[in-house]
Amino acid sequence: MAGTEAGQRLDVFLTRKMPEWSRSQLQGVIRRGLVNVGRRTASKAGEKVEAGDAVTIRAQHEALRAVPEDLPLTVVYEDEDFVVVDKPAGMVVHVGAGVKSGTLVNALLHHLGGGLSGVGGESRPGIVHRLDKMTSGLILVAKNDPAHRALASQFKSRSIRKHYQTLVHGLLAKDRGEIRASVGRDPVRRVRMKAGGIRAREALTAYRVVKRFRYFTLIDAEPHTGRTHQIRVHFASIRHPVVGDKLYGAPGKFRYEGKEYPTLTRNFLHAAKIELAHPRTGAPLVFTSQLPRELADFLLFLDREDRLL
């Protein structure tokens, strides 16, 4: 190992040396005791490698490759360059460690007969951006490489605008505002992100209050950056977690006048609107998606309970 690589995390070092592996795959191999640093078996993905260390891995790589599956798919728009899909909550976007079927990509490969861009590799063909598993709504998928690169460029320049409808616990003090807090990996719970976490990157979310309930606030949230779990992390950081989001501290129950009710089994987070330029022609496009039935029904329930108080 070169001296310039000294001090790197073991999983980061291996990811850079073995790009055909995902970082999560390598972390799993390390946990199974299949990586040696010198004569010692590594036990943690976060341990540091030092100059002169010989790092060996005793595992064979299994390439992640998505295959077509006949799954329900709601296509909002489709042309020769890209597709807009209304993804349901509970569906993972692409295959990965521990997820080999049932994803949006599996469904798209069946729907399109394999016609997706190859920029993202065999595990996530066509995928330009992602939505969390328990987030519903609009997602763009590229059908060819030029379209993929054009859409990725728009995301990088932040010219694509995305609006999410989200319900948060509590009453926000202002009708409009911004949350500006860097987002990085949570050092304790690795499945979470955290405001100011490990290798935090700048993040900005603008919001507008749509409706106030007695104990909740319905918001239009517009992320100006695309960090993992950004909206969820930002509102949790100001003590207004997204309803249903237990990972970030949302309670599973709430009370109305002494009566206890469950919240939701999914996050109240829906990608409701997306604005972009067509990747080939540059023509402005706007797509919208209605709230899923379970979220709309929850708002009706809150309305009814508020009127009864």
Is 230:207 a contact under the CB 8 Å cutoff?
no
The Cα–Cα gap between 242 and 226 comes to 17
Q: Which of 11, 81, 86, 132 is catalytic?
A: 132
- Tokens 């709504």, residue located: 137
Largest CA distance in the chain: 71
160 Cβ contact partners less than 8 Å away, ≥ 6 residues apart: 151, 154, 274, 275, 276
Instruction: Give catalytic status of residue 70 as yes or no.
Output: no
The Cα–Cα gap between 86 and 290 comes to 10
Query: Where do the H-state alpha helices sit in 63-144?
Result: 104-112
Copy the structure tokens of residue 176: 């409009």
Kindly state the DSSP code that residue 187 receives in the 8-state scheme. S
Is 267:233 a contact under the CB 8 Å cutoff?
no
Q: What is the dihedral of CA 3, 7, 9, 14, to 10 degrees?
A: 0
Q: Looking at the annotation, which residues are catalytic?
A: 132
